[in-house]
Amino acid sequence: MFIEQKDFNEIKQVLPINAVELLILDANENILLFKRTNEPAKDEWWLPGGRIRFTETRIDAAKRLLKEECGVENINMQKSGMVEYMVNNETENYQQHVISTIYIVKLIDAKNIVVDSQTSEYAWKSATEWQKQLKNGFLSSLLTEYKTPSFCATSFYMNEINSTDKNKFIRPELYNIILQAMSGPCYNTDHLPIKCLVTSRLMPV
């Protein structure tokens, strides 16, 4: 089942998006970031990645996005942890809530990157160099903390939520679409069963 674009635009404003993102390193530990051409975080430097499709596993989504957005395949990757954060959609004036699994990818040959239309340019820089350019607190923290034991399941959004975004509701009709066509954001660790974090907030009928 496909989601109409108008419905997906509404979903992004009222439901956490389940995503994977790729922290790609070269042989010198430089990090690959893309400058985005679309919202959210339009015209900002960001990690390659995107939404997990319905019935798709996280690792399969990571492999698909590595190929689609970077032109790279058949590379080993390691799950580093899970994060949640808010990111601005300035065009439509809302904040998008993302729950993302981070996969670390190490490339021996950094010259084989082929970007898609969602990227205007890309660059390899050290974490310290990127710190000087990044606007989003989540991404800035991620590039320095991804190696620490406390990184897994870190929240970066608690102080960044607009008061208007806290009171948004999902229409019952839209919630039915979500159940049929989207993967629900979930959290897991190596020691606990998967726990779904999605809660429906339906308007009275």
Whether the per-residue pLDDT at 204 is higher than 90: the answer is no
* Residue 70 included in any domain: yes
* Residue 55 included in any domain: yes
Domain at 123, CATH number: 3.90.79.10
* Residue 199 included in any domain: no
* Residue 189 included in any domain: no
Number of domains observed in the structure of the chain: 1
The range of the structural domain enclosing residue 166 comes to 5-183
* Residue 76 included in any domain: yes
Which of 15-24, 31-40, 153-162, 166-175 shows the lowest per-residue confidence on average (mean pLDDT)? 153-162
Position with higher pLDDT, 67 vs 198: 67
The band of 61, judged by pLDDT with boundaries at 50, 70 and 90, is very high
* Residue 203 included in any domain: no
* Residue 188 included in any domain: no
Whether the per-residue pLDDT at 70 is higher than 70: the answer is yes
Mean of pLDDT values over 67-76: 91
Please give the model's pTM, rounded to 2 decimal places: 0.75
Parallel, antiparallel, or unpaired: how do β-strands 17-25 and 77-89 relate? unpaired
Distance between CA atoms of 144 and 28, rounded to whole angstroms? Answer: 15
Position with higher pLDDT, 189 vs 105: 105
Q: Please give, one letter per residue, the 3-state secondary structure of the chain.
A: CCCCHHHHHHHHHHCCEEEEEEEEECCCCCEEEEEECCCCCCCCEECCEEECECCCCHHHHHHHHHHHHHCCCCCCEEEEEEEEEEEEECCCCEEEEEEEEEEEEECCCCCCCCCCCCEEEEEEECHHHHHCCCCCHHHHHHHHHCCCHHHCCEECCCCCCCHHHHHCCECHHHHHHHHHHECCCEECCCCCCCEECCCCCECCC
Mean of pLDDT values over 72-80: 89
